[in-house]
Structures are given as C-alpha cells and as structure tokens.
Structure 1
Amino acid sequence: MKTTIKHFFIFVEHQALSCLFPVFLFTMLALSHLFTGVLPRYDFMLIGCLLIQAALYYTGIETKDEVLVICIFHLQGLLMELFKVHYGSWAYPEFAYIKIGGVPLYSGFMYASVASYMCQAWRRLNLQIQNWPSRYVTRTIGILIYLNFFSNHFIPDVRYGIGVLILYYFWRSVVVFHLQGKAYHMPTILAFMLIGFFIWLAENIATRLGAWRYAYQHHAWTVVDYQKISSWAFLVIVSFIIVAELKLLKDSTKPSPVLSV
C-alpha cells in the first residue's frame, strides 16, 4: 500500500514536470492582460512562448529531438488554425502585429504544448506500447483524422466512422509506464480519452482567458461544446501516432511492435 501511494505521488510529479510548457503557456495567458498597454497580447504570447521554448531546451528539460517534434506540431497546428479561422470555426479578435490570415503566430504553440507534454511524459515514464497496430493502419487512421478536421466543412463529419476504426484496431493496445522499475498498464484508448478530456478542460480556461473565441462565445463566455472532447481526443491520437512513428523511425532496427524510448 505504501509503495502504491509513493508511486502515485511520483506519477503526479512526472506529470507535473511533463506539463511545464502548458503551465507556462496558461500562466502567460493569465498575465498577458497586464501588458496590453505595452504590447498586444498575442505578440506578448509569441515572444513569451519563444523564450520559454529556448529556456526549456538550454536547461536540458527538453532534448533536441523533442524540440524538433514540437516544431512539427507547431507547423501542423498553424496550418489548421489558418484553415479553421478562415472558415469561421473560431476567431482571434484582438489586434496583433504578427498575424497571418487573422491567426497570431503564437497559436501554433498551443498544439506544440501538447507535443511537449507527450514527449516529456514518454521519456520520464519510460513509456512502452504493446500490441500497437501496423504502421499502415496507424498512418492511415492518422491521415483520415487530420483530413477530417478540414473536410467536415465540405462533406459530412465522419469522425464517428473513424472512431469505429480506432476501437477496432486499438482495442488490444496497452500503454505501459514505469515507476521505479515497476510497470503499470493502461488501455491506449483510455489514455487517448483522458488526455483529450483534460485538454478540453484546459481549453475552457484558455477561452475564458481570451486565448481565442468560438462563434458562440463572442457575446458572453460559455462552456466549450462537449463535442470538442472527441475532437481533442482525435487530435491526441494524431499526435500520439506522429510521436510513435518518429520514435520507430529513429530506432528502425527494432522490428518489435513494442515502442520504447
């Protein structure tokens, strides 16, 4: 019992350390109102994110490979932001000097913060995945999810059909994480949903702080649509697949379906 309690607090500690980038991001959002007379909030956020990223790298909290993954997610997120803002899914109503197509450049760091968490947690918890589907399956599902974020503006949303594929191919997959040499197991699908749920909670905080606004939040803030939990879970799956694929690419000499750092 004592060991279980001890491991629980170690797990919480690792999770907290893995969330440093997101925590700093939300802290800046909360403080950004204090600097509006000096610098537009979105520009303040961009400068702050760049400084935080540099600090995490030069202090050794993030590795060179992790920074590369974060950059990939920043570009991926920025592309989605440009598309979604163009089609009115949400908006950044405040002025900023560094804005492209109505999208402040700091917005990509919100996606990068998810990648930062995943990379950090993967390394700190010595993550492994058992019964991971084949590369063909994971890549196909990842592409379908990402394309659906764009295509649902032109054709019916097929997320639930993709969800059936995820349940079918990932139901046997298990995440294994280690605490002081002891292995713990969690269904991969459950991990996807839990991370998506907590990102949705963070999104409510972010919109409350004015990071961005959905169309139904322009007049008064309200809770983010619950359907966004599934959207974030799908984004987590894409993110997880990208990180897993990059790790497999780096260690391509291991044909085993178990992914490890």
Structure 2
Amino acid sequence: MNSGESQQPKNLTSVERFLDRTANRWLASRGDRGLRSGLLEFLVFGLKQAWACLFGALMLIAIIAARLWWPDDATLARNDALVIVAVGIQVLMLVTRLETGRELWVIMLFHITGTIMELFKTGVGSWLYDPDGVLRIAGVPLFTGFMYAAVGSYMVRVYRLMDLRFDRYPRLWLTAILALAAYANFFTHHFVWDARWLIVLAVVVTYWPTWMHFRVYRRTFKMPILVAFGLVATFIWFAENIATWAGAWAYPDQVDGWEPVSIMKLVSWFLLMLISVVLVTVVYPPRGIARQN
C-alpha cells in the first residue's frame, strides 16, 4: 500500500498540495482500519468538499451579510457592494493560487453563459432583482454572473481535489449535444414546447452506465455519476433558498413574502449540472480509472 502522500492527486495548486499532505499525514497517524478510521476519512471528505465550495460559500456569506447589515440608505448600493466583493473573491482565489490560470477561462465561460441566461430570464419575468446600483447590465446586477462562476469554481476544484476518474464515460460529442439542448431549452420553453423532461430522460439514458471514482485518502470510492448530479443539484437548491431569503433575487411567488423555492427547480439545477460538467471537460477531459496489472 502506498502512502497517502505518494498518492497525492495531480494538478493541485501549491496551497492544495500543502493541505492534502497535511490531511494525509493526519489520517496516516491514525491507521487505515476500523470504524474510527472510516469516520475520520469521511470527515476529510467533507472538508475537501467544503474547500472546493470556497468561492460559493464566500459569495453566500456576502449575500447574507449584505441582507443583515448593509444600510438601505448607504451611498454604495447593496448590489454594487456584492459586485465588488465578488471580484475581490475571484482575485483572491487567483493570487493565493486556489485556482489556476488554466481554470479561470472556463470559470469565465460559466460567468458568460450564466449572465446571458440571466438577461433573458429577467426580461421574461422568471425572477427579478432590486433595481438599486449602477454595476448592472439592463436589470441584472453583475454579481449574478459570479454565482454561476462559483458553480464552475467548485466543479474544477473538486475534480482536482478528489482525483476524479470515470468508468464508461459517454462520448464527449454526445454530452456536448445534450448540454446545448439543455441550455437552449432554458430559453425556448417560453415560446415552444418545454422539452426539459425529454432532455432529462436523454441524460439519464446517456449517463446511466457511468460511475465516478474519487479518492479521499488511501481508498477509492465510487458512485453513479447521476447520483452526483442529483446531490450537487440539491445542494445548489438549498443555497438558492438561502440566497432568495437574503434578498439576492426573488421569484414571482416570493415578491409578497419569502417562501421556499419550488422543489421543481431541482430539475433545472440537474440540467445545469450537465452543462457544468461538459464545460469542465473542456479543461479536464474525463480520465478513466487506473487498471491494476
């Protein structure tokens, strides 16, 4: 059995290499068998997931803080303050080498695709933002693109941190077609038949054989990639509930008072996961599992 340090995932940033070595040494000092070892490894898994979510977590904290403590009569509008904070977080992630320059441009793709969708969706009344602030395009504050970028940041970072590999991954051209169909449907369903359930079915059929393998320490675990889609979509849905409660935006049924986001939004986030995964494969092509000789 190789040591945890020798199994360190590739492509980590300098900060992540230090954190990974520290976690591996901590686990190695406690053995690799028994319930206690399993619980400790699960804890490290949770910490790595939280670390991958850093961008999104900081954005959510900023949104909540703006709701609780930002004065309504402040010279700098709340939405503009969130834009400045979002830019600051992105710069911090790069300066501290928590994200690589190679990843930045794919995160910007998340930003651009998200902002385009925001402009359309607010235009047709799917949701709305407070009208304050000047750092906006039409009715969309510029911080909104960073919320999509936060999803991209998580995706590219978890790929590295968990040393993700895949068994029976679909053809990339097929996943790209599905992602384009899902993205287009976010727009076209306002005018023609809503094909989201057909696309969901196509995604399930396409990804059904695919298993995702991830390493926490010495052991490699696996799960169906569709389960991973569903788990991350659920997590985003919970974060969306917090963000709408904090007034970052509002759906039409929340204008007269906050209420939980419809559970049906999980379908939208599931399809967003498809789009996100396809964008990430531009930077990190899916790797197959290592076969033992």
Q: Match of 2:102, as an amino acid?
A: D
Q: Match of 1:209, as an amino acid?
A: A
Q: Which string of whole-angstrom CA distances, capped at 9 and with x for unpartnered residues, describes residues 171-207 of structure 1?
A: 0101110012321001000100110011001000000
Bigger Rg, structure 1 or 2: 2
Task: Name the structure 1 match of 2:238.
Answer: 201
Task: Name the structure 2 match of 1:130.
Answer: 167
Q: Which string of whole-angstrom CA distances, capped at 9 and with x for unpartnered residues, describes residues 42-65 of structure 1?
A: 100000000011111101111112
> Are 2:248 and 1:211 aligned?
yes
Equivalent in 99, 102, 110 of residue 147 of structure 2: 110
Contact 2:126-2:251 within 8 A present in 1 as well: yes
Q: Which string of whole-angstrom CA distances, capped at 9 and with x for unpartnered residues, describes residues 78-112 of structure 1?
A: 00000000010000123111121100111000100
> Are 2:59 and 1:25 aligned?
yes
Residue 232 of structure 1 aligns to a residue in which SS? helix
User: Closer, same or farther in 2 for the Cα pair 1:257/1:60, shift >3 Å?
Assistant: closer
Structure 2: which 5+ runs fail to align?
1-34
Residue 38 of structure 2 aligns to a residue in which SS? helix
Could you tell me how far 1:156 is from its partner in structure 2?
Answer: 1.6
Q: Match of 1:230, as an amino acid?
A: V
Residue 190 of structure 2 aligns to a residue in which SS? coil
Task: Name the structure 2 match of 1:16.
Answer: 50
5 Å matches for 1:68-79? 68-79=105-116
Task: Name the structure 1 match of 2:102.
Answer: 65
Q: Which string of whole-angstrom CA distances, capped at 9 and with x for unpartnered residues, describes residues 238-261 of structure 1?
A: 10111023322xxxxxxx86289x
Q: Alignment RMSD, CA only?
A: 1.5
Equivalent in 102, 111, 121 of residue 158 of structure 2: 121
Q: State how far apart, in whole Å, the 1-side matches of 2:222 and 2:185 are.
A: 31
Task: Name the structure 2 match of 1:85.
Answer: 122
Contact 2:103-2:283 within 8 A present in 1 as well: no
Q: State how far apart, in whole Å, the 2-side matches of 1:212 and 1:97 are.
A: 16
Q: State how far apart, in whole Å, the 2-side matches of 1:95 and 1:155 are.
A: 33
Q: Match of 1:46, as an amino acid?
A: V
Q: State how far apart, in whole Å, the 1-side matches of 2:123 and 2:131 are.
A: 16
Task: Name the structure 2 match of 1:253.
Answer: none
Equivalent in 39, 53, 74 of residue 5 of structure 1: 39
Task: Name the structure 1 match of 2:131.
Answer: 94
Equivalent in 151, 171, 175 of residue 212 of structure 2: 175
Q: State how far apart, in whole Å, the 1-side matches of 2:118 and 2:65 are.
A: 23
Contact 1:131-1:257 within 8 A present in 2 as well: no
> Are 2:81 and 1:44 aligned?
yes
TM-score by length of 2: 0.83
User: Closer, same or farther in 2 for the Cα pair 1:135/1:62, shift >3 Å?
Assistant: same
Equivalent in 266, 272, 275 of residue 235 of structure 1: 272
Contact 1:125-1:179 within 8 A present in 2 as well: yes
Percent of pairs with identical residues: 34
Q: State how far apart, in whole Å, the 2-side matches of 1:80 and 1:39 are.
A: 26
Contact 1:244-1:259 within 8 A present in 2 as well: no
TM-score by length of 1: 0.93
Contact 2:102-2:283 within 8 A present in 1 as well: no
Contact 2:165-2:287 within 8 A present in 1 as well: no
Task: Name the structure 2 match of 1:252.
Answer: none
Residue 214 of structure 2 aligns to a residue in which SS? strand
